[in-house]
């Protein structure tokens, strides 16, 4: 049996472009194939780039985007095809890097143009929310190639759009266009492709202008609601809400509001 040695994974950092725009960290999937096929090394490079911005004190919000043709049109099937059950299990092929995006503490936006299919749709759903151009198409077409979603598609999609629509999408492999994706809650907002970059940056800059300390806590409370029961979520929300009273930014925000001025966030 061929041993799948994860040390041989090539971290394709040259396939990921990063740029600072004021307090926004822009991460662009820039594979030599404009469909951005997601190999293990490519996903690792994407995560490491996002993690670097997450640890950068000058960055308050992260945007993850792709090419004009595709955010990412799926996993790299050429890489996956030779793998056995033992190899994909022993190397933690899916869980090692795909699951790490949920550890990013700063707001992480998926900005989707073109195709976000299979692993690409799963990567977009692993972000905090999705902004889409009007030419975007989403889907989990794994059933068409002898597979099922394996990086969160069958778990996140029902939470976003409900069991019935998710079951339909996963069992048929049909794509969901941008307008339908917005209607069913998969996408937060749709913008015209012509003005997409400008509109995404407006949203990202608005978020980046807030207190990073409060943004992290706000993100945590929403994620708790997504992952637990209502009663557990309410208890967590109360505890996190009370913890904001220990922040300098809590006092600054309250004082700025009462004094009718913009707050001067300390991010602590």
Residue 265: inside a domain? no
Lowest mean pLDDT among 66-70, 125-129, 150-154, 178-182: 150-154
pLDDT in tens, 187-200: 999 999 999 999 99
Q: Which residue has the higher pLDDT, 214 or 74?
A: 214
3-state class of 144 per DSSP? helix
Global pTM? 0.89
Residue 1: inside a domain? no
For residue 249, which of 200, 201, 214 has the smallest C-alpha distance?
214
Handedness of CA 32, 147, 102, 183 (dihedral sign): positive
Give me the catalytic one of 110, 122, 124, 152.
122
Residue 249: inside a domain? yes
User: What is the reported pLDDT for 14?
Assistant: 84
Give me the catalytic one of 40, 45, 73, 75.
75
Same domain, 187 and 227: no
Rounded distance between C-alpha atoms, residue 29 and residue 37, angstroms? 10
Same domain, 147 and 49: yes
Q: What's the full length of the chain, in residues?
A: 268
Rounded distance between C-alpha atoms, residue 190 and residue 245, angstroms? 36
* CATH classification of the domain holding 232: 1.10.12
Mean pLDDT of 130-143: 95
Same domain, 199 and 227: no
Give me the catalytic one of 25, 114, 118, 119.
119
The mean pLDDT value of the chain amounts to 88
First CA to last CA distance, the chain: 53
User: What is the reported pLDDT for 74?
Assistant: 77
| Residues spanned by the domain of 233 | 212-258
What's the structural domain count of the chain? 2
pLDDT in tens, 241-256: 999 999 998 988 888 8
Same domain, 223 and 175: no
Residue 266: inside a domain? no
- Clarify whether 142 is annotated catalytic: yes
Mean pLDDT of 28-41: 89
Residue 267: inside a domain? no
Give me the catalytic one of 111, 116, 126, 142.
142
Per-residue pLDDT at 84 exceeds 70:
no
Same domain, 161 and 251: no
Same domain, 155 and 45: yes
> If pLDDT is split at 50, 70 and 90, which confidence band does 5 have?
very low
Same domain, 143 and 15: yes
Per-residue pLDDT at 3 exceeds 80:
no
C-beta atoms surrounding 22 within 10 Å: 14
Same domain, 147 and 234: no
Residue 139: inside a domain? yes
- Clarify whether 136 is annotated catalytic: no
* CATH classification of the domain holding 136: 3.90.226.10
pLDDT in tens, 140-163: 999 998 888 888 889 999 999 999
- Clarify whether 75 is annotated catalytic: yes
């Amino acid at each position: 049996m061929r041993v799948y040695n994860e040390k041989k994974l090539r971290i394709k950092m040259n396939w990921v472009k990063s740029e600072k725009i004021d307090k926004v960290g822009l991460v662009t999937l820039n594979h030599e194939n404009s469909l951005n096929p997601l190999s293990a090394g490519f996903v690792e490079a994407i995560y490491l780039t996002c993690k670097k911005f997450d640890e950068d004190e000058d960055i308050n919000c992260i945007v993850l985007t792709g090419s004009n043709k595709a955010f990412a049109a799926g996993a790299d099937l050429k890489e996956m095809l030779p793998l056995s059950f033992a190899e994909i299990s022993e190397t933690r092929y899916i869980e090692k890097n795909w699951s790490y995006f949920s550890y990013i503490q700063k707001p992480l936006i998926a900005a989707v143009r073109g195709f976000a299919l299979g692993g690409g749709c799963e990567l977009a759903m692993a972000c905090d929310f999705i902004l889409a151009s009007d030419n975007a198409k989403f889907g989990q077409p794994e059933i068409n190639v002898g597979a099922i979603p394996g990086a969160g598609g069958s778990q996140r999609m029902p939470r976003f759009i409900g069991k019935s629509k998710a079951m339909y999408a996963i069992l048929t492999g049909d794509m969901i266009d941008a307008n339908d994706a917005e209607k069913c809650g998969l996408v937060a907002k749709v913008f015209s492709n012509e003005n997409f970059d400008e509109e995404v940056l407006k949203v990202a800059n608005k978020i980046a202008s807030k207190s990073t300390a409060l943004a992290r806590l706000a993100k945590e409370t929403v994620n708790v609601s997504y992952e637990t029961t209502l009663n557990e979520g309410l208890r967590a929300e109360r505890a996190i809400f009370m913890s904001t009273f220990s922040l300098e930014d809590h006092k600054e925000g309250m004082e700025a509001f009462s004094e009718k001025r913009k707050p001067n966030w300390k991010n602590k």
